[in-house]
Structure formats: structure tokens, C-alpha cells
Amino acid sequence: MGEVKVSGISVAFEKENGESTLALDNVDLEIKDKEFVCFIGPSGCGKTTLLRTIAGLERPDKGQITLDGEDITIPDSTRGMVFQEYSLFPWRTVIQNITFGPHMKGISKNKTLEVAEKYLKLVGLEQFRNSYPYELSGGMRQRVAIARALANEPKVLLMDEPFGALDAQTRNTLQKELLQVWAKYQITIVFVTHSVDEAVFLADKIVVMSARPGRIKKVINVDLPRPRERTSSEANELRNQLLKMLAEERRN
Amino acid sequence: MSKAGTKGLRERGIEILSVTVAIIIWQLIADLVVNNKFILPSFTDVLFAFIRIIEGGVLFTDLATSLLHFGIGIISALLIGIPIGVAMGWFKTVNRALDPLIEIIRPIPPLAWIPFAIVWFGLTHTSAGFVVFIGAVFPVIINTFDGFKSVPKIYVEAAKVLGCMSSGSLIRHVALPSALPSIASGIRISMGVGWMCLVAAEMFGVSTNGLGYKIWWHYYLHQMDFVLVYMLILGFLGLFIDRLFRWYVDGHLLKWRAGVVV
């Protein structure tokens, strides 16, 4: 199970001059088990903050987040995360990066390696098993980051603009691969993006956020059939609708 | 680095030529211009003195003694300096508590500690090691601290969401490997400083053996060719230790760093 319930979350950040800004203001959201949810919104709308709060990396000032009914306060292995920046440990090889999570759980070495090999294969990087991160391209690094997060067998995979730094071609490929992984492992995915195209291609549910303070503007259920056609007329229509909403936000 | 190592003898032509010319000029000046073994021993004088030291067998006692002093100092500097640097880098309170003390003690030149070294430890190997320690410990502390301070936040967060939660495991699995390049360069600096302190400590009579001690002893005997031999041995040994360390660190500990532009 991987059901996330966000109720009445507010997060404020203290600025250097002592003032505080409200990054999230009284946000409610329900994410169903096995759902693929995208957060989208103008920069500074708190989409990353919301994701990080679900991860346990930020403490809410008000409100509560639960995963399958259990309170989330600190990070743990039930929620895996893939970051926008390259977050692989540069001193560990690809396989050592993937074994990190299971190793921390205290799982035996053989079992750890077995799990890691499975996910390494899943992302198709067997031949880079013993490479260091600096030897990999951006797309490969994010593949390893995904494998590393999955090796912990989390209930929810949190992704913070994971493909933001990649070129369009690689990005499309990785989106397709991610959907395959999602279909295969049946986990909940929460995905932050600033790309309308990406959200329309990936999500079951798109959460549009508004800025300063961060609030949820609208939740759109996407019922386009999968596999999706990026250029179908329904997709275009949805895209236009989203773009309009975002443009409105920018004007405010 | 590795490229320079694999360069053939042929490609080292200029380097060899440069050293050879320097030696010839030295020999000519010593023989024809100065012509006084006390003021400037020639290359051949030094060579003969070196052979005599080897034949006499004293070189190895001195070498072993100096390396013992150096070892005592450096190893204790690492054993004490790294944990202090780690604690200061990771825990803000520890940093605030220790920083003023370190900033007060650090500017005292290590050689100023020699009287206390003698009072506390007598004329022993420990005493010479202590002076080396004083010189070596601060670069280790400061570089470990810096390395820990600049651990990218993203690695710590990535580790946390992977279930690495306690300070102990975060230090061990994330901060320490991430800070290793900085710690390694701190150790290199501390070995350089320690090497200088070693000679001074031995010269001031903290020990009755060792390469530094021998420089002083031969000076009293007015054997400047021997003084120069020991100077050169100290230089070459320092170079060798540094190269050995770099070879080990770059080739083994920091292999993952190839390609990182510093």
C-alpha cells in the first residue's frame, strides 16, 4: 500500500532578516495507492516543498501527513526519493550506490547484492556496474538514482524534477521507462515537474499549484488511455488548459 | 599525475639535463670560485661524505630514529586531529566550544613548544614526536573541519531518504568519504610542516640521534660536506614520503575523483 494523506499542511521558512515566508498554506491532498501524481506550478509555488515534506525532509509547522495511516515526521525507507541534482554518492560505484539503502537496513550482503543486481538490470545499466558516477552521462545517473531509490522497495517514490536537467530525447526515453517501472512494480509515484508535456504524458492526476503562498489551485484527473500519444488531440486540449492556468498564475 | 609517471626516459630529457647542468655549475663554483670546503663543499665532496656515511652504517640508525619521531608525531596528529575535526564539522556546539581554543593555540610556532616538550617528556623520542605532533595536528584539524563543513547537503539528504539516519552512520557513510579529499590534502600539509618541525626538534637536542641532530653535530665538527649530505637526505626523504602518500591516495582512496576538476 502507498496511500498518502496530506491534511492542513503549512510550512514557513525563516529568511535571514528574521521574516518568514509561507511556502505552503493549509494544503490538503489525497494520493491514492498506485497512483501517478504530478505537481505542477510556477517556480516558488511550493511544489518541491510539498514533496520534501512528504519525504520527511521538511517539518510542517501545521498539519499532518500520513502514509497508510501512519504519521510522517522524519525520512525513512518507506518513501524513496529521486532528486533533481545528481545525488549519487560519487565515492561509490554504481552497484555500491544501489546497495546503499538495503545495506543501511541491515540486510545481509548477499541479499543486498541480489536486490541491487535486479534493479541495475531493470534500468539496463549492467555493463556500468562498477563505474563511478563521474563516468556516466546525466541520463544514466538518473537511471541509477531511480534504481537506488527502488532497491529500498519503498511504498511511494518521490521525484523532484528528476529529468529537468536532461536533453529532450533522453527525457522522453526516461519518461517511458519510468512508466514501465511504475506498471511493473505497482507503487505510488509523486512527481514534481515544471513541464506541462511531462505531466500530461505521465500523470493520473495533475495537481496545479499557485504561488505565494503555495496552495493547490486545482486537481485535474487525467483519464487519457495508456500508452499515451503525446500529440493526440485530447492531450493537446489538456495541455492548453494547463498552460492557460499557469499563465494566469504568472500574471498574478 | 599518472601520465607523468609513465613518461619514458627519453621524454625526461630536459629534466635530466637541467639537474646535470646544475650539478656541473655547483661543482665548478665550489672548485674554482669558492675553493673552500667549509663554505661550500663541492658535489664530489658531498658524494664521498655520503659514501662514508653509508659505509659507517650510521645513516640507517639516524634514518630509523627520524622516521620514528616523524611517525609518532604524524600518527598521533591523525588520531587526535581527525576526530576533533569531525566533531567540530558535524556538531555546531563542539565547534563553538573548541574554535577559540584552537585559534589561540594554533598561532604559537611549534618550535616554541620545545622547552615544554623537554620538561614533559625529557630527552626522548616521544619528546621529538610531540614537537612534530604540534606542527602536524592543526592542518589535520582544519582541513577535516573544512571538508565536513562543505559536505554537499544533497548527499546527506539522499542518505537520509535511503534510511541512513543517525549522526554516526551519516558521518561514517556520507560525510567522511565526501570530506576525504580535503582530509588527504590536510595530511599532506601536516606532513610537510611535521618534517620541518622534526629537524628543528632534533637540532635543539630533544633527541640524541636522527637526521636533524646529525646536521647540528657535523656543524660543530665543521664538516660542512656532511651537513650538506644530511640536508639533501632530508629533502629527498620528504619528497619521497609526499610522493608515496599522493600515489596511494590518488590511486586508491580517491579513485572516484578522477575527472573532477578542482
Interval B126-170: pLDDT, tens: 999 999 999 999 999 999 999 999 999 999 999 999 999 899 999
Distance CA A146, CA A182 (A): 11
Which residues does chain A have within 8 Å of residue B157's beta carbon, measured at their own beta carbons? 57, 75, 81, 83, 87
Please state the three-class secondary structure of A220-250 as a single string: EECCCCCCCCCCCHHHHHHHHHHHHHHHHHH
Which residues does chain B have within 8 Å of residue A134's beta carbon, measured at their own beta carbons? 256-260
Q: What confidence category does residue B9 fall into, taking pLDDT thresholds of 50, 70 and 90?
A: low
Average pLDDT over residues B11-37: 90
- Is the pLDDT confidence value at B242 over 90? yes
Which CATH number goes with the domain that contains A214? 3.40.50.300
Same domain, A117 and A103: yes
A38: β partners: A191, A206
Q: Which domain holds residue A61?
A: 4-78+154-251
- The pTM of this model reads 0.86
Which residues does chain A have within 8 Å of residue B257's beta carbon, measured at their own beta carbons? 90-91, 134
Distance CA A144, CA A90 (A): 12
Same domain, A231 and A208: yes
Strand A62-67 versus strand A36-40 pairing type: unpaired
Same domain, A181 and A141: no
Estimate the share of chain A in helix, then strand, then coil, as percent rounded to the nearest 5. Answer: 40, 25, 35
**Residue B7's pLDDT is what?**
56
pLDDT in tens, A57-74: 999 999 999 999 999 989
- Is the pLDDT confidence value at B207 over 60? yes
| Domain end among A153, A177, A211 | A153
3-state secondary structure of A161: coil
What does the angle CA A166 – CA A171 – CA A173 come to, to the nearest 5 degrees? Answer: 140
User: Percentage of residues in chain A with pLDDT exceeding 90?
Assistant: 76
Number of domain units in chain A: 2
- Is the pLDDT confidence value at B2 over 70? no
Same domain, A73 and A159: yes
B162 and A55 in contact by Cβ < 8 A?
no
Same domain, A89 and A34: no
Q: Is A215 on the interface with B (CB under 8 A)?
A: no
Average pLDDT over residues A141-163: 94
Average pLDDT over residues B208-235: 92
Which residues does chain B have within 8 Å of residue A100's beta carbon, measured at their own beta carbons? 159, 162, 164, 173
Minimum distance, in Å, between the CA of residue A206 and any CA atom of chain B: 24
| ipTM of this complex prediction, to 2 decimal places | 0.92
CB A50 within 8 A of CB A27: yes
Q: What confidence category does residue B254 fall into, taking pLDDT thresholds of 50, 70 and 90?
A: confident
User: Percentage of residues in chain B with pLDDT exceeding 90?
Assistant: 75
pLDDT in tens, A80-135: 999 998 899 999 999 999 999 999 999 999 999 999 999 999 999 999 999 999 99
- Is the pLDDT confidence value at B3 over 50? no
- Is the pLDDT confidence value at B205 over 90? no
What is the secondary structure of chain B as a DSSP string? -HHHHH--TGGGHHHHHHHHHHHHHHHHIIIIII--TTT---HHHHHHHHHHHHHHTHHHHHHHHHHHHHHHHHHHHHHHHHHHHHHHHH-HHHHHHHHHHHHHHTTS-GGGGHHHHHHHH-SSHHHHHHHHHHHHHHHHHHHHHHHHHT--HHHHHHHHHTT--SHHHHIIIIIHHHHHHHHHHHHHHHHHHHHHHHHHHHHTTS-SSSHHHHHHHHHHTT-HHHHHHHHHHHHHHHHHHHHHHHHHIIIIITGGGTT---
Same domain, A225 and A168: yes
A128: β partners: none
| Domain end among A103, A120, A153 | A153
pLDDT in tens, A15-37: 888 888 888 989 999 999 999 99
Distance CA A199, CA A121 (A): 27
**Residue A195's pLDDT is what?**
92
Same domain, A130 and A15: no
- Is the pLDDT confidence value at B79 over 60? yes
| Domain end among A153, A177, A209 | A153
A91 and B177 in contact by Cβ < 8 A?
yes
Same domain, A106 and A200: no
Among B24-28, B188-192, B254-258, name the one with the lowest average pLDDT. Answer: B254-258
**Residue B4's pLDDT is what?**
47
Same domain, A242 and A158: yes
B positions 174-233 inside 8 Å of A (CB) = 174, 177-178, 180
Same domain, A159 and A247: yes
* A208 phi and psi angles, rounded to 5 deg: -95, 130
Nearest beta carbon to residue A77 from set B163, B255, B260? B163
* A237 phi and psi angles, rounded to 5 deg: -65, -45
Same domain, A131 and A161: no
Same domain, A116 and A191: no
Average pLDDT value over all residues in chain B: 90
Distance CA B183, CA A243 (A): 50
